[in-house]
Structure 1
Amino acid sequence: MTTRIYFATKGLGQISEQDLQQALDCFNLGALVQFHRTAEGVMGQTLLVQTTEGEFILKGNPLYNGQFQEEQFFVEQLAARTTIPVPVPYQIQEDTELLGWSYVMMPKLPGSHLYDPVFQTTLTSQDHEEIADVLAETLAELHHWKVPDAGEYDPVADKIMPFAGSYLDWLYGSIRHWLHDAEKYSVITDDDVRWVDEQLKQSEAAFLVSSVHEFVMGDFKVENFLVQKADPPASPWKISGLFDLTTAYFGDGTADLTKITARYLREDRPDLAARFLHHYREKVCADDVEKCIHFRSRLLIHLLYQRILWWSEAKATGQVTWEADLSFAPWAKQYIEKVLTLLD
């Protein structure tokens, strides 16, 4: 799945305490105390479970065959390759008899979500700045994992399988596919298509210079990590948990910058967006001068891809929050230019 996009889920349905206790017993995780659905659980797949042995996350009813095996692979690899906390052990129960579907049990990681409004009220301006730096540093560390070929994990083969064709073929093909898919829900004019093609052509060289490809989480957003300040209070902020890794692949890590940048801008914090982008670029430039040279062009294309997906979703669901008569190209252009200005 990795790079495919899912807009729906089957959810977990109703689960009895008795069945949940049996699910816990499979991994000797103690007696059930209480459980509830997580507020921002991935597509309705997760429960927070408290037992006499601690707190755990149950993730069930996979969206596709191999979802849990894929996430387990990336969890275990990141645990071995980075200092970033991930949910290990990630234990899979493949038997579907008990709950009607396979499931995973993993430890609940400590820390707070940045989307939590109560937590937000405790943060100072300095805290926000330090957290923006930590997010940039976390991505830089994730992107240190490099492989020769762009591709995704295949749970059947149990290895990274290269994309058909080059990374550029896959990326540009995906962008064009979703642009034309948006025609089902909205008007995409010939001028829109020409403008997108022009951006792709101008940035093509930026994706042809590298002979290696890096780990890309694919969904680096506030719902998928936790932050924490260790004792004593003067200690620095850190990422205390990273999860939901089934959109990971190997390509250009710059793609991971788009969602945090967008969130900062939605919160009217261009200063934090700029800090986040600059700090990441500084970390990358220290290790990869070539990538640094083409940073702006690569970021432009990933922002364009993000805008296409957001346009399509908003049009399909009727949640358009901008001028209804604004066509795609000028709408996307004004956002992309705003972000790129932050790099100056």
Structure 2
Amino acid sequence: MTAEIIFGSNKLGLINDKQLQSVLDKFKLGKLISSKSTDEGAMGQTMFVSSTEGEYVLKGNPLYSGQFMEEKFFIDNVNSRTNIPVPRPYIIDDSEDIFGWNYVIMPCLKGEHLNSKPLQIKLQLEDKLKIAESIAEALTSFHTWKVNDFGELDPKTLTIIPFKNTYSEWLFKRILFWVTDAKKYSRITEEDLKWVHSLLAESEDDFNHISSPSFVMGDFKPGNFLIYQSEHGWEISGVFDFTNSYFADPVSDFIKMITYYIDNNETDIAKHFINTYYKQHEEEKNSIRNRIKVHMLHQKTLDWGSAKATNTVTWDNALPFSEWAVTYTTAAEKILE
């Protein structure tokens, strides 16, 4: 399920103090002080829990069977393979006696979200550049985890299920499926489809020549990591929510951060972020430029379909799909120049 696109959400619902204290008692985590829903992340599956023993995050009501075992697999591997802080111990309770569904309790990591308004107010240009470097270094560290097959994790066996056919075929088919699906909620013209097909055709060789698949976090965005200013400067103080992780082209992990910078008129920060990553991948620069346009197209296809289906469009509703999406693919390409 790691590479599946999940639009639904199993929210926690109403949880009382007695239930939370039962969790704390079960794992000897102290007496409950307070609890509240998290502002970001995990599609309504998480809440903060404060006790006499510390600060925790409860994550429950899984989206699919094996979600938590799968996430624990990625967290444990990231912890052993990198220096990136992740929420450990990641304690899974498979029983359903407390809530009616299974759950996880994990430590709450220190730091703030990059997109928090109080933090953004005080950040200077130098701070933002340093944070961009830290993000690039974290992703570089993630992507050192290489495997033999492009694919997703089987949550039952914790082994990689290879994608059918080639990775480019899997990715291109996925994009075309969601472009076609968007016809249910919006107007997709023949010109839109021609543009999509041309963009895919231009990059096919680059995808077919990726040397080896890497671990891909799958949802690297401000809501899923924390930053902290230590005595050594800004650093990533925590990364979480590995539900969408799989093994493929590491370049796809750039997209949500590039989009964040574009939407906040910070293309210079985005360029610094990419250039920091390039320092160790200079020989791939042209290939990465071509691949990143397709990954941006993939994300914008999902964003378009979701916004149109839910009537939450934040742009000119009259814009054709290709005219709207090309602003992002072109901006991403310029950032990589």
- The TM-score bracket by the shorter chain reads over 0.9
Deviation of 1:322 (Å): 2.6
Distance (Å, rounded) in 2 between the aligned partners of 1:264 and 1:338: 10
- What's 1:68 paired with? 68
2 CA distance for matches of 1:29 and 1:159? Answer: 32
Q: So what's the TM-score if we normalise by structure 2?
A: 0.97
Paired residues for 1:42-121 under 5 Å? 42-121=42-121
Structure 2 partner of 1:304: 297
2 CA distance for matches of 1:62 and 1:116?
A: 27
Letter paired with 1:77: N
Q: Offset of 1:195 from its aligned partner?
A: 1.2
Partner of 2:308: 315
TM-score for the superposition, normalised by structure 1: 0.95
Percent identical across equivalent pairs? 44
Preserved contact between residue 262 and residue 331 of structure 2 (Cα < 8 Å): no
Q: Aligned pair in 2 of structure 1 residues 228, 205: CA closer, same or farther (>3 Å)?
A: same
Equivalent position SS for 1:73: helix
CA shift, 1:203, in A, is 0.4
Tell me the amino acid that sits aligned with residue 69 of structure 1: M
What's the CA shift for 1:262? 0.8
Q: Which residue of 2 aligns with 1:283?
A: 280
Deviations 1:194-215 (A, max 9, x none): 1111111110000111341001
Letter in 2 for 1:220: F
Q: Does structure 1 conserve the Cα–Cα contact (< 8 Å) formed by 2:259 and 2:328?
A: no
Checking the alignment, whether the CA contact within 8 Å between 1:215 and 1:249 is kept in structure 2 is yes
- Counterpart in the other structure of 1:148: 148
Once the 2 structures are TM-superposed, how far is the Cα of residue 122 of structure 1 from its aligned partner?
2.2
2:113·2:225 contact (CA, 8 Å) conserved in 1?
yes
The one-character-per-residue Cα deviations of 1:127-174 (angstroms, maximum 9, x if unpaired) are 011001111111111111110100111111221221122211211111
Query: Which runs of 5 or more structure 2 residues have no equivalent in the other structure?
Result: none
What's 2:237 paired with? 240
Secondary structure at the residue paired with 2:281? helix
Per the TM alignment, residue 331 of structure 1 is displaced from its structure 2 partner at its CA by 1.6
Q: Quick check: 1:342 aligned with 2:335?
A: yes
Q: For residues 321 and 18 of structure 1, do their structure 2 counterparts lie closer, same or farther at Cα, with a shift above 3 Å needed? A: closer
Matches for 1:36-47 after TM superposition, within 5 Å: 36-47=36-47
Q: 1:6 Cα shift?
A: 1.5
One-letter code aligned to 2:275: H
User: 1:320 Cα deviation (Å)?
Assistant: 2.1
Counterpart residue number, 1:30: 30
Seen in structure 2, the aligned counterparts of structure 1 residues 207 and 92 have a Cα distance that, compared at 3 Å, is same
State the distance in 2 between where 1:236 and 1:9 align: 37
Separation of aligned partners in 1, 2:39 and 2:315: 28
Runs of at least 4 residues off by over 3 Å? none
CA distance in 1, matches of 2:200, 2:173: 11
Indicate yes or no: 2:197 matched with 1:204. no
The question of whether the paired residues in 2 share the 8 Å contact of 1:258 and 1:306 is answered with yes
Amino acid at match of 2:234: W
Residues 1:254 and 2:247 are matched in the alignment: no
* SS of structure 2 residue aligned to 1:96: coil
Offset at 1:66? 0.7
Aligned pairs, number: 337
- Find the aligned partners of 2:207 and 2:194 in 1 and give their Cα distance: 20
Q: Does 1:333 align with 2:326?
A: yes
State how far apart, in whole Å, the 2-side matches of 1:283 and 1:96 are: 47
Q: Deviations over 1:70-97 (max 9, x none)?
A: 1000000000000100011101000011
Tell me, yes or no, if the aligned pair for 2:61 and 2:101 is still in contact at 8 Å.
yes
- Structure 1 residue aligned with 2:271: 274
Equivalent residue runs for 1:109-258 within 5 Å: 109-231=109-231, 235-258=232-255
| Aligned equivalents of 1:128, 1:20: Cα separation in 2 | 38
Q: Secondary structure at the match of 1:147?
A: coil
Contact 2:229 2:235 in 1 (8 A): yes
Amino acid at match of 1:67: Q
Question: Any idea what the Cα deviations from partners look like across 1:61-119, whole Å, max 9, x if unmatched?
Answer: 00111110110000000000001000111010000111111000100011111121112
Partner Cα separation in structure 1 for residue 334 and residue 286 of structure 2: 16
- Kept in 2, the 8 Å contact 1:58–1:104? The answer is yes
Q: Equivalent residue of 1:146, what SS?
A: coil
Deviates further, 104-113 or 327-336: 327-336
